[in-house]
Amino acid sequence: MPGLVDLVGRSFGPHPVDVTPSRVRDLVAAVGDDDTRWETHVPPYFANAVLFAAAPSFLEDEAVRPFTRALIHSEQSFTWYRPLVTGDALDVLGRVESVRARGPLHLVSFAVEAESGDGPWITGSSLFLMSAEAAGEPDEAPEPPTALRPPVDPMPAAPLPLPGERLATLRVGASRADLLEYASASGDWNPIHWDHRAARAAGLPGTIVHGLLMSAWMIRAASRLAPGPRPLATMRARFRSPLRPGIGAELGGSVLAVEDDGAEIDLTLGSGGDSMVTARVRVTR
């Protein structure tokens, strides 16, 4: 049977993705965004659904499945090339770029690209940490009530601050029901986000919020600083530690530089003094 290293260079797809109004609305609602902004164009975090049009065919491959007992999404980058119109259709292709082994842990770089008849929409790269063994045995934590959601702040449009200025801090979080809604809208059905036993078997205290949902909150926060249909040019996020459902987090950041065509912004999402996700995004102007 081939191993993970034998998959380097292999492509998965292309997979068709119809960018229907209902699919966009479902994802916008799952992220908690303002649907009136995204009536004609697609929000940049639709890239999450594009990734999980291709990733399941890789993760369910017979050579990969044994290494998904402990599956952690460690890093994610996206580049957006143009606006995407609701009602368009995409072809999505995934590809294994590299595999590195560190004992029982495998670091797998998985690339994705999506294009339509108008050309490329996004490219992206994911770093998955995979192992046939559980990551550890932390203390078990009880699951919160299904509908328990921490306080969440609205994210209205805001002007771009000057370089060096801090962005307003925003409260974010999700309930267990929210995680099911996001899984359905994005296609990311990793059971560690909705099944307590699966999360424990993977070495977690209990279910955790999707890393890409947290990055979607960050994309949403950055997008409110840019009113156009392509608010972001690039994003690179690192998922550092998990967030439990029902637990509140804070999202903040600062502007690093402002140029004629865009701005570089650092964002951090954390809770209780722990940093869960850090990201650097380029906002378009």
Structure tokens at 176: 């267990």
Structure tokens at 48: 């999450």
CA–CA distance, 46 with 33 (Å, rounded to integer): 12
Collapsed DSSP state (helix, strand, coil) of residue 163: coil
Instruction: List the one residue out of 175, 193, 132, 164 whose CA is nearest residue 1.
Output: 132
Residue found by looking up tokens 């108008």 in the block: 118
Q: Which residues of 104-143 are buried (b: 16+ CB within 10 A; e: fewer)?
A: ebbbbbbbbbbbbeeeebbbbbbbbbbbeeebeeeeeeeb
Structure tokens at 194: 């909705």
Contact 281, 267 (CB under 8 A): yes
CATH placement of domain 4-284: 3.10.129.10
Question: Tens of pLDDT along the chain (285 residues)?
Answer: 467 889 999 999 999 999 999 999 999 999 999 999 999 999 999 999 999 999 999 999 999 999 988 888 999 999 999 999 999 999 999 999 999 988 888 999 999 999 999 999 999 999 999 988 876 677 899 999 999 999 999 999 999 999 999 999 999 999 999 999 999 999 999 999 999 998 988 889 999 999 999 999 999 999 999 989 999 999 999 999 999 999 999 999 999 999 988 999 999 999 999 999 999 999 998
